[in-house]
Amino acid sequence: MPIKVQSDLPAKKILEDENIFVMDEKRALSQDIRPLKIAILNLMPLKEDTEVQLLRSLSNTPLQLDITFLTTSSYVGKNTATSHLDTFYLTYEDVKNKKYDGLIITGAPVETMEFEDVAYWEELTQIMEWSKTNVTSTLHICWGAQAGLYYHYHIRKLDLSEKLSGVYLHQVRNRREPLVRGFDDWFYAPHSRYTEMSREDIENSGRFKILAESKEAGLFLLMAEEGKNIFVLGHPEYDRVTLDKEYKRDLNKGINPDIPVNYYPEDDSERRPSLMWRAHANTLYTNWVNYYVYQNTPFEW
């Protein structure tokens, strides 16, 4: 799929080296079609890594996507150069009067905090409220999913006894939904978190379809309002070495983490991690773009 990004975005060169077609602004202007406008609110600390992961996952449909990266103005992290943010990112104030076909809200390493204690919570709630009227479908990822479930539907999160980290087996629960079209009965996906959502609250609300879950990792894929809001409680966009980097970062901090489950061959952290989730991750993002964005968005906002 042609993904339209700024010509000098560093992720563009990485994806082109992987033989993924990324279209710059100049070429996009020569095509007489309306691209789907997708905003990505990137809350992850290593923003450039997340840019590559998400653009890679969005690259498997023939539709043209015009990508806008968003960041928070109320909190600026220390892991991404200010020059990169100034060049390639907008804030809520820049887009609050615009309409988008799709919005992705990423995870963030703040799940042990109360939502209201997160530095940018008020700004995030503004964006989630804005999405009700200005976005066709919103895809929430990991902590972004927890935040969306809490803000929109008052679903509480629960602390886990230890960090959930690894690649877990999941089962599809509702084959009638196009979001899981093309999935096998069982599939793998990465998780990396200290909290989970209350399944009891999800079921009692009567507002969600549970599309996939894991015996070990719990809920994975939820949908509300016929796809207006979709929640992914893991990290299918992670690349091969993301969990490896997180595990070794925590080791260096003296946290003494458990080795990620079902990730390294024979649990040997010196060996190349196994990649077992890419095909289903790509299918998930393709289905979201096709069935919940493209087929539901108005031709003109």
Neighbouring residues of 45: CB distance < 8 A, sequence distance ≥ 6: 77, 79, 80, 108, 109
Of 123, 235, 246, 280, catalytic: 235
How far apart are alpha carbons 26 and 13 in whole angstroms?
A: 16
Q: How far is the C-alpha of 54 from the C-alpha of 49, rounded, in Å?
A: 9
Which residue type, as a one-letter code, is found at position 163?
A: K
Contact 231, 179 (CB under 8 A): no
Q: Which pair of tokens denotes residue 99?
A: 């309409």
Amino acid letter, residue 212:
A
Residue 246 catalytic? Answer: no
- Looking at 48, 177, 196, 237, which residue is catalytic? 237
Burial label, 235 (beta-carbon count in 10 A; 0-12, 13-18, 19+): buried
For CA atoms 89, 95, 96, 98, the dihedral sign is negative
Of the candidates 51, 111, 142, 280, the residue annotated as catalytic is: 142
Residue with tokens 């079902």, as numbered in its chain: 262
HSE, side-chain direction, 13 A CA sphere, residue 251: 10
Residue 91 bridge partners (DSSP): none
Q: First and final CA of the chain: distance in angstroms? A: 23
- Cα–Cα distance, 92 to 74 (Å, whole number): 10
Distances (CA, A) of 192 to 83, 233, 236: 29, 9, 11
Report the distance separating Cα 47 and Cα 132, nearest Å.
25
Is-catalytic flag, 152? no
- The kind and range of the H/E element at 138 are strand 135-141
Residue 18 appears among annotated catalytic residues: no
CA angle (221, 258, 49) in 5-degree steps = 55
Active site residue ranges: 142, 235, 237
